[in-house]
Structure 1
């Protein structure tokens, strides 16, 4: 490992140490100078007096002051952008809520023609076998897509797009998975275009039995449903969502031939994610409406915790609201940088282009990491589109509701573990720094080569493909029988745009907000307060006192903006939960399902919790993660408890067997 790589991975911790040292140096020097200037010079002996500079810390004080202002401006701008984003999304949802369910029902009739598929209970053997090849792909080939494309109806056009939905899970309750599948199956276009893949873990006992029971229950409700079994103990691989999704993606890649891959969209969801019936229809519409960027687009959607928010402590509820606010702040109309949160969709060809998901410990935050991987693979020219369909999630809980103080503490601990896992993703800043260097070195490159995700070429990171062979491959007509592509039959050679430096600046601004700002802000609040006290009454020799006064106003306004965001969140939450409740009632799934409605009167305590949430679930876990990175980048991935629909107790795994 090079020195640069080591430092990049620990950039957050090094920045924290640097700021702490700078703050101590400036405060100590300025304090000593202020005391010296306010006291008689005779009170200092000849040894100590020369050590005190009449200008304190000199230029370091100026640097400290302006950096403090820079951070406070970011603290002011982040909630402002979040308020604008939630207003924009809420306004758009309000305009479309009345008629979108009717439109979707018309476009995706339950009488959809179900394309032929090779899926059966035994098809899982194909996906879990390491010997499977592309010949074991689905029978939904080009012919079906072409006939759909030739049709004059909207239904036929949208029916050509296949949605490969990956549900990674490890020791998730069967009821939680069943509820998620019930919601997906209630979509009117599930039988026509949903290929569902249960991404199981081999290290979970009886995972195959769990998967087979669910497949047996839902096999007739989707275009296809299958499972993959991620093996344990793969060298250099860290257990977690990223490695699980990558394994499933490589296996499902075998099922889709080259001709239809451009219209296969992979969506990764959590085991407790409930997607509205219009989510996939909106993705499909955008995919078809912008063919020039269809294979270089990532789709993000806002998330909302609207299922068990009334059954968790207020501080946990507010922590989740503010965490999703950070992700939502990039989803406004016209946003060019929009990292996804938990649930996102991207075309299979884009997954091919970037070589799938990374599986090492650095990629524990697989959603942001995959976004960065796609961003740099396209030299910053990644297209992002917002899906105006809130994703229903559950708040983290340890089951402490109604159990008094002990229950509150257990829920808070469970949420802190999740916050630490989120902050562990600061490693992605180091990944981005290394990718910037790589992008600069290859800035003059005009073409890039990739192949299907499951190809042996994609597994070989250092495979060398002679340029002459690639030129011959791309220049030869596909219909020329005399030209044998052989080993390179699946290789795609395409032109790429040059680096987009403007978006690079915006990206690192967002990474700084996510991984540096919580700790940096906390240090500077304390340091600036100590500085003002230490220099109280002393002459402003550096001309920076106005900066610290401005910082106080920015902090105050920033805090008020967070409170205003919570106020605006009330409307967003009500629209989303009302729409979901209507959909679940129409689908006959509402019985026993949780719907957390909010009101300003009932949730007034949430506003009081804001000052506690910032340090407990922001600065402290961020500092802990960045300090721990100095001796390890590994974090044990634990599964958080989910709230599920109240229903009859499911059979145990032993009973299924």
Structure 2
């Protein structure tokens, strides 16, 4: 029975799609049959009152109508929440940009003994306790620490997973990180490389030697190519790097170590890490059960991709930002996120199987259910700059545009392949219900497990001497931590499944119902409404129109968000001396008016169609081949190290 439930949960989206198609066919065919027989009966004896039995399909017709109404309500809710979120985030980011408090935070810039090595992943084997020094803070403000708190006591372990990424793209990302004033004191950078990539060690060593003096430490890890069940990709590289870096921090030091996973093309402001440090220190009661997420923005090559690709990414921003508004408790991250090392220990690190291709949402779900739904989510008011997906088609006519669209569709498939996470969440909620009476959970540091798939949790009966405040000084359980669990938060769990339904079910369900409801109203026709449901389809049409109007409103609000974020990034890059040759995609309402017109086209091409394809594919395979998208970098001559790799 459990294997059947496991199989069904992994294909929940596809099963729901087939069920809705079956229901739609039944309802329309039943109504069509009723209309035909009713017509023939009236022709034979028009003076007699009809005396047929109530139709068996009446219940399902009403169910179909009310389900159609529910889906349209959800469709109208999403852009409404997105509009509120982008307005709230823009207002907060603008307030942050005008504040000088973060700029006043001073870092000592003392260079500690370098822990950098030019070797492979095998060098990350010794556990060391990195000391931290104090620094002065600026004026006290809402988001900042008091002046007596050592802001550089928090170490940021930054993982940059990459597989066949261009050298210049990685170098540019590292240069942006190195330009931050706190980089030399608090950034431990780990390049999560893939062993199966050709000349990968030479590539990694070149980058490490180039940036050895610009970070607190920099190293690289090589994800082995022979681990069964693990494929090349971001998730497996992050997982391997996290297990290796875990060895470097002692039990005491890891309490203030925060891991950040970024894409190879992500440009982060120094404010991103400063704000996380502040929140980590200001909220000690939830410091180690908090996940930090930031909005993303595509502001580097948006003017060099087809409008349809640009709009698809803008709407993808909407999906990410829709949970990041003030007061939101359900905030799945998009691409870039941070979480404390102790939380990573608690959940056993990142998964690497075929269900975790969307590693950001998957890790969020692991943390969410490990804490019984009591995961704390905090928004980092420092948008992350990303590049639009491209196949290098700019300036190559319609063939180049088609290549870019095809590259974006492949990325949409990767996004929609994440529907497997709904099944993962369904299995986790079953586990949570079975374990709902447990009040604590014991765990060990991530690297102490024998292999990536072993269970690092410790049976509670064996931990009578262990408590959440202290651990034994010696013995087999000397590295065990026991954390107290709060009761399941069913309200948050309900909100989570609403968001999962919205992401993985709604695009296909909405498309099916648009055609099915249109077909039903055409078949039913006339003024006769025996089920009293005609008003539902009228309201659904209004909600559908309202939804498109709200998407247009979101695009209008996005103009100011894009302008605010781009101005802040451009200023920071100019101050850091990195602006020359860097891409800044400015927007103008008149110039980008076509974006508003393309919304009805973008939704099915990059939403409904890849979602349906992914869910149908899950009946045959759960594997998806990971492909690397082309990134845009600064226009400059190739470096010597890049040439050596050719």
TM normalised by structure 2 equals 0.94
Q: Who is 2:222 aligned against?
A: 229
- Establish whether residue 25 from structure 1 lines up as the match of residue 26 from structure 2: yes
Equivalent residue for 1:116, pick from 113, 118, 132: 113
Match of 1:192 in 2: 185
2:142 corresponds to: none
Q: CA 1:149–1:305 in 2, change beyond 3 Å: closer, same or farther? A: closer
Q: Deviations over 1:282-309 (max 9, x none)?
A: 0000001100000000000000000000
Q: Does 1:289 align with 2:282?
A: yes
Flag the 1:464–1:71 CA change in 2: closer, same or farther, 3 A.
Answer: closer
**In structure 2, what is the equivalent of residue 605 of structure 1?**
594
Q: 1:597 to 1:64 in 2, by over 3 A?
A: same
Cα gap change, 1:107 to 1:229, in 2 (>3 Å) = same
Q: Which residue of 1 aligns with 2:15?
A: 14
- Aligned to 1:314, which of 297, 307, 313? 307
CA distance, structure 1, for counterparts of residue 105 and residue 506 of structure 2: 45
The equivalent of 1:405 in structure 2 is 398
Q: Does the 8 A contact of 1:353 with 1:377 survive in 2?
A: yes
Map residues 58-97 of structure 1 onto 2, 5 A cutoff. 58-97=58-97
CA separation of 1:28 and 1:399: change in aligned 2, threshold 3 A: same
Describe how 1:210-289 pairs up with structure 2 within 5 A.
210-289=203-282
Q: Give the drift of 1:41.
A: 4.6
Quick one: distance in 2 between partners of 1:619 and 1:324? 17
Instruction: Evaluate the alpha carbon distance shift between residue 477 and residue 303 of structure 1 in structure 2; reply closer, same or farther with a 3 A threshold.
Output: closer
Deviation at 1:97, TM superposition (A): 1.1
Q: Secondary structure at the match of 1:510?
A: helix
Out of 482, 486, 490, the position equivalent to 1:501 is: 490
Q: Could you report, residue by residue, the CA deviation over 1:459-493 in whole angstroms, capped at 9, with x for unpaired residues?
A: 57457845443112339976xxxx76422111112
Whole-angstrom distance in 1 between the partners of 2:470 and 2:325: 44
Alignment match, 1:140: 130
Query: Does the aligned pair in 1 maintain the 2:299–2:387 contact within 8 Å?
Result: yes
2:162 to 149, 157, 169: 169
Cα distance between partner residues in 2 of 1:524 and 1:239: 38
Q: How does 1:216-615 map to 2 (within 5 A)?
A: 216-456=209-449, 461=454, 465=458, 467-474=460-467, 485-537=474-526, 539-615=528-604
User: Does the C-alpha gap of structure 1 residues 450 and 538 become closer, same or farther in structure 2, counting only changes over 3 Å?
Assistant: same
Per the alignment, in what secondary structure is the counterpart of residue 418 of structure 1?
A: helix
8 Å Cα contact 2:117-2:123 kept in structure 1: no
**Is contact 2:443-2:458 (8 Å) kept?**
no
CA distance in 1, matches of 2:261, 2:534: 50
Counterpart-to-counterpart distance in 1, 2:214 and 2:148: 19
Cα offsets for 1:127-171 (capped at 9, x unmatched): 2xxxx3xxx134514xx36x6799997385111000000000001
CA distance in 2, matches of 1:190, 1:494: 32
1:467 and 1:285 map into 2 onto residues whose CA distance is: 34
Once the two structures are TM-superposed, the CA of residue 31 in structure 1 deviates from its matched residue by 1.8
- SS in structure 2 of the partner of residue 345 of structure 1: strand
Would the aligned equivalents of 1:327 and 1:339 in 2 still touch at CA under 8 Å?
Answer: yes
CA offset digits 1:527-585 (Å, max 9, x no partner): 00011101111521111111110000000000000011000000000000011000000
Structure 1 residues 106 and 524 mapped into 2: Cα distance closer, same or farther (>3 Å)? same
Structure 1 unmatched runs, 5+: none
Unaligned runs of 5+ in 2: 139-144
- In structure 2, the CA distance between the partners of 1:520 and 1:467, relative to structure 1 (3 Å rule), is closer
**Secondary structure class of the residue paired with 1:486:** coil
1:317/1:409 Cα in 2 relative to 1: closer, same or farther (>3 Å)? same
Evaluate the alpha carbon distance shift between residue 22 and residue 476 of structure 1 in structure 2; reply closer, same or farther with a 3 A threshold: closer
Shift in Å at residue 42 of structure 1?
5.7
Task: After superposition, give the CA deviation of every residue in 1:72-102 in whole Å (9 maximum; x if it has no partner).
Answer: 0000000000000000011111222122xx4
Superposed displacement of residue 452, structure 1: 0.2
Residues 150 and 643 of structure 1: CA distance in aligned 2, closer, same or farther (over 3 Å)? closer
Q: 1:200 to 1:155 in 2, by over 3 A?
A: farther
CA distance 1:153–1:301, shift in 2 (3 Å): closer
Label 1:417 to 1:43 Cα distance change in 2 as closer, same or farther (>3 A): farther
SS at match of 1:2: helix
Give the TM-score normalised by structure 1. Answer: 0.93
Number of residues of Structure 1 aligned to a counterpart in Structure 2:
635
Q: Distance in 2 between matches of 1:462 and 1:156?
A: 37
**TM-fit CA distance, 1:40:** 3.7
CA distance in 2, matches of 1:155, 1:123: 39
Give the superposed CA RMSD.
2.3
Q: What SS does the corresponding residue of 2:640 show, helix, strand or coil?
A: coil
Change (3 A) 1:182 1:316: same
Select the residue among 628, 634, 638 that pairs with 1:645: 634
Note if contact 2:439-2:485 (Cα within 8 Å) is conserved in structure 1. Answer: yes
Asked if structure 2 preserves the Cα contact closer than 8 Å seen for 1:26 and 1:56, the reply is no
Query: Alpha carbons of 1:150 and 1:80: their partners in 2 closer, same or farther (altered >3 Å)?
Result: closer
**CA separation of 1:124/1:12 partners in 2, compared to 1, >3 Å: closer, same or farther?**
closer
| Aligned mates of 1:646, 1:64 — CA distance in 2 | 55
Question: Which one is further off, 466-475 or 513-522?
Answer: 466-475
Q: Hey, what's the Cα distance between the residues in 2 that align with 1:413 and 1:24?
A: 32
**In 2, Cα distance between equivalents of 1:649 and 1:467:** 57
Q: Aligned to 1:112, what secondary structure does the other structure show?
A: coil
Q: Say if 1:451 and 1:457, in contact at 8 Å, map to a contact too.
A: no
Describe the shift of the 1:475–1:234 C-alpha distance in structure 2 as closer, same or farther (beyond 3 A).
closer
- Say if 1:33 and 1:54, in contact at 8 Å, map to a contact too: no
User: CA separation of 1:564/1:414 partners in 2, compared to 1, >3 Å: closer, same or farther?
Assistant: same
Alpha-carbon distance in 2 for matches of 1:460, 1:550: 51
Report the Cα distance in structure 1 between the residues aligned to 2:429 and 2:279, rounded to whole angstroms.
30
Q: Would the alpha carbon gap of residues 318 and 465 (structure 1) be closer, same or farther in structure 2, given more than 3 Å must change?
A: closer
Q: Is the 8 A contact 2:120 2:221 kept in 1?
A: no
- d(CA) in 2 for partners of 1:361, 1:464: 23
